[in-house]
Amino acid sequence: MAMIVRCPNPEDTEALGASLGRHAMPGTVVALSGDLGAGKTVFARGVGAGLGVTTRVQSPSYIIVQSHEGGRLPFAHADLYRLGDADELEQLGLDDVLDAGGMVLIEWAERFPEVLPTDHVVCVIREVADGRAVELSATGPSAQQLLEKL
Amino acid sequence: MNVLGIESSCDETAASVVGATGVLSDVVHSQVIHAEYGGVVPELASRAHVEKMGTVVRAALSEAGIERPDAVAATAGPGLIGAVLVGLSFAKGLAAAWDVPFLGINHLEGHLLSALLEDPAPAFPFLGLVVSGGHSTVYLARDVGNYTVLGETIDDAAGEAFDKTARMMRLGYPGGPVVDRLAAEGNPKAVKFPRPRPGDLDFSFSGLKTAVRTHVQKKDRASDVDVCASFQAAVVDCLLGRVKEAAERTGVRRLALAGGVAANSELRRRALELDLDVFVPPKNRCTDNGAMIANAGRQRLIRGERHAMDLGARPGWRVDE
């Protein structure tokens, strides 16, 4: 199943992210893609707000992965654009966050598809004439269950 | 007291010795390979830090002309945990072997206190503008270890905006130096880019990035040099605008610049025009280096601090905690 949500304003993109954050389950993995400036950080900020994290969600492009605390679930936000090779994936500590019952949001996961578990949410933000269109789809039953709650 | 400082939190493997007379050695091995368009950094792996660490530390000690420092400091965060652990573990090993104090330093405190290595150095309290690929923050530094965040980015860091602008314009990586160079020949008023002012003294550079992209996709777009100059002017306006507000709000009239973006010539030029006492480190002390870690370690050591060997890496460590 895929659902497409129209987001005319950045606030709508953020609200959609917040809804995902509110319903995320321990072990939820989201692959987030979209062009530069599409609103990935805005969406991620919404996810953080939905989870109730107390740390600020900024772009992790430079530091590659940022962990957030204080929320309903531990939350790791990663951007694999600058990652050199797949050997480095384990250094990011994403598995630790998932093992601890957390949620992981990964930008540029398409560079290293092996980072994604079989069952995950795919979120693609596209620019359209009247703002953004966010397409959400599930690759397995848990992800499907999550999308149905949004 | 001579302190060996080790930095490995991101792309650089660096070591330095700082003593009472200042920086005795400062060795940086950059892992940034000027990649093809788009600029992926191929060697962030902790493996690369491991390979370089011994050589870099040995060079730092030999250039300083010492065999054993009086303490060893290393970056403990924030940064990529695997990378941070390489320098941190190496430092602990050396401190144990030499039986000298060990200190785990916050990378951002290292940047913030960089100005103390210069002559003249700012007295406390001072404002610190730390701007790099991963951070854009205005601090109030009251003393060593006493810092308040007055404002920070709510999305992209300033250095990231430079890199992404360069990427969109296919100018290469890293974006900072190339945009700086092209901007020098352009008209900063050619394109009107946004200068957002989010809440408090915060920054936002995400919209600027989108505005650059929208502009360069236009048919009647300005030339590369004009786009770079206009973009850079917008970034500098945002940064220094907030600094001015911070100075008014706190009454603190001293400002220290730090971080990779502090190497930007327009930011340096315009910061020096502010009606404040401005302290700008040389460009090699703006980008990541070992001297800033040795210096922060030394400042803390002088105040009687030393850290336990079980101090762990803290990937998300905030400097105001």
Instruction: Give the DSSP letter string of B218-285.
Output: STTPPPHHHHHHHHHHHHHHHHHHHHHHHHHHH---EEEEESGGGG-HHHHHHHHTSSSEEE---GGG
Collect all residues of chain B within an 8 Å Cβ-Cβ radius of residue A85: 42, 45
**Do B293 and B270 reside in the same domain of the chain?**
no
Mean pLDDT, chain A, rounded, equals 92
For the cut 90, the answer to whether the pLDDT of residue B128 exceeds it is yes
B157 and B17 share one domain: no
Judge if B164 and B236 occupy the same domain. Answer: yes
Residue B194 domain-assigned (yes or no):
yes
Q: Does B107 touch chain A (CB under 8 A)?
A: no
Are B232 and B103 in contact by the 8 Å Cβ rule? The answer is: no
* Residue B40: pLDDT over 70: no
> Parallel, antiparallel, or unpaired: how do β-strands A29-34 and A103-107 relate?
parallel
Q: Do A81 and B40 touch (CB under 8 A)?
A: yes
Residue A50 exposure: Cα atoms within 13 Å on the Cβ side: 22
Domain region containing B243: 123-280
Cross-chain CB nearest to B164 (options A36, A67, A92): A36
pLDDT digits (tens, 9 = 90+) for B235-248: 999 999 999 999 99
pLDDT value of position B43? 47
Residue B151 host element (H or E): strand B146-152
Supply the CATH number for residue A96's domain. 3.40.50.300
Same domain, residue pair B109 and B136: no
Lowest mean pLDDT among A52-56, B22-26, B80-84: B80-84
Residues present in chain A in total: 150
Determine the structural domain holding residue A89 and report its residue range. 2-149
Asked whether the beta carbons of residue B46 and residue A91 sit closer than 8 angstroms, the reply is yes
Residue A143 φ/ψ, nearest 5 degrees? -65, -40
Beta bridge partners of B18: B3, B23
pLDDT band for A19, please (50, 70, 90 cuts). very high
Residues B107 and B59 reside in one and the same domain: yes
Number of domains, chain A: 1
Structure tokens given for B232? 């850079």
| Residues B102 and B223 grouped into a single domain | no
* CATH number for position B96: 3.30.420.40
* Same domain for B298 and B239: no
From chain B, the residues in CB contact with A66 under 8 A are 316
Q: Which residues does A contribute to its contact with B (CB < 8 Å)?
A: 35-37, 41-42, 45, 55-56, 58-59, 61-69, 81-85, 87-88, 91-93
Q: How far is the C-alpha of B250 from the C-alpha of B78, rounded, in Å?
A: 27
pLDDT of residue B10: 83
Distance from the B78 Cα atom to the nearest Cα atom in chain A, whole angstroms: 9
Residue A35 neighbours by CB distance under 10 Å = 13
Same structural domain, B274 and B213: yes
Higher pLDDT, B34 or B207: B207
Whether residue B198 is found in the same domain as residue B226: yes
Which chain A residues are Cβ-neighbours of B318 within 8 angstroms?
55
The answer for B 141-170 residues in CB contact with A (under 8 A) is 152-157, 159-160, 163-164, 167-168
What pLDDT is attached to residue B35?
A: 44
pLDDT at A7 over 90: yes
pLDDT band at B216 (very low <50, low <70, confident <90, very high): very high
User: Alpha-carbon distance B234 to B194, whole Å?
Assistant: 7
* Mean pLDDT over the full length of chain B: 92
CA distance readout (Å), B237 to B47, B85, B165: 40, 37, 17
Residue B316 forms part of a structural domain: no
Provide the terminal-to-terminal Cα distance of chain B, rounded to the nearest Å: 27
User: Residue A63: its pLDDT value, please?
Assistant: 81
Q: What percent of chain B has pLDDT over 70?
A: 95
Cα separation, A68 vs B62, whole angstroms: 41
Domain count, chain B: 2
Average pLDDT over residues B54-67: 96
Decide if B21 is inside a domain.
Answer: yes
Which whole number is the average pLDDT over B245-264? 97
Report pTM.
0.88
- Asked, for residue B319, whether it belongs to a domain, the answer is no
Q: Is the dihedral of CA B140, B145, B146, B152 positive or negative?
A: positive
Residues B151 and B260 in one domain: yes
For residue A77, pLDDT over 50 is answered with yes
pLDDT at B90: 97
B139 lies in the same domain as B93: no
**Same domain flag for B291 and B275:** no
Helices of type H across chain B? 46-64, 81-98, 107-112, 158-168, 175-183, 206-216, 224-250, 265-272, 291-302
